[in-house]
Amino acid sequence: MAIRTLLVDDHHLFRQGLRRILQTQPDIEVVAEAASGLEAIDMAKLHQPDVAIVDIAMKELNGIEATSQLLRYSPKTAVLILSMYSDERYVMRAVRAGARGYILKDTLEEGLVEAIHLLHQGQSYFSPSVAKIFHAAHARDVQERKVDDRYELLTDRERQLYHLLAEGQSNKEIAARLGLSLHTVETHRTRIMEKLGVHSIAELVLGAVRRGLIV
Q: Tell whether the model's pLDDT for residue 12 goes beyond 70.
A: yes
56 in Cβ contact with 65 (< 8 Å) = no
Residue 18: C-alpha distances to residues 25, 29, 53 (Å)? 12, 12, 9
Summarised one tens digit per residue, pLDDT across range 163-174 is 889 888 899 999
Which class is 3-135 in CATH?
alpha beta
- Pick the more confident residue, 201 or 211: 201
The reply to whether domains 3-135 and 148-210 share a CATH topology is no
Task: Give the pLDDT mean for 103-128.
Answer: 90
| Domain range summary for the chain, segments of one domain joined by + | 3-135, 148-210
Whole-angstrom Cα distance, residue 178 to residue 195?
Answer: 21
- pLDDT above 70 coverage of the chain, percent: 91
- Pick the more confident residue, 143 or 107: 107
Q: CATH number of the domain at 148-210, out of 3.30.110.60, 1.10.10.10, 3.40.50.720, 1.10.3810.10?
A: 1.10.10.10
The 10 Å CB-count burial string (b at 16+, else e) for 97-114 is bbbbbbbbbeebeebbbe
pTM, two decimal places: 0.68
